[in-house]
Amino acid sequence: TVTPVCNVVADNTTSTADITEGQTKSLTGAPTGGTWSIVSGGGNINGTTYTPADINTDTTVVIRYSIAADGD
């Protein structure tokens, strides 16, 4: 039996434009239905909205968009 490799790729299409403390960023990805997680940096994610943590210096935040494996 040969099981094909999942050919669906998660694509984080969120803008990489800077935001400041007190602002939020709308997270966008394809295909829909994936989950968001913070890989590095601070803040929190509620649904598809990222809110940065209170910081005193510029901080880079890396956010991952993941989708479930294709079970076909």
The answer as to whether 71 is a domain residue is no
Give Cβ neighbours of residue 60 (< 8 Å, ≥ 6 apart). 40, 41
The pTM score is: 0.79
* Residue 1 falls inside a structural domain: no
- Read off the pLDDT of residues 37-67 as tens digits, 9 standing for 90 and up: 999 999 999 999 999 988 888 889 999 999 8
pLDDT at position 6, please?
62
Structural domains of the chain, count: 1
Q: Give the tokens for residue 25.
A: 């960023």
pLDDT of 57 reads 85
Range of the domain at 36: 11-66
d(CA 42, CA 39): 9
User: Tokens 């479930």 appear where?
Assistant: 68
Q: What is the pLDDT of residue 10?
A: 82
What is residue 21's predicted lDDT score, i.e. its pLDDT?
83
- Beta bridge partners, 22, equal none
What does the block give as tokens for 3?
């099981």
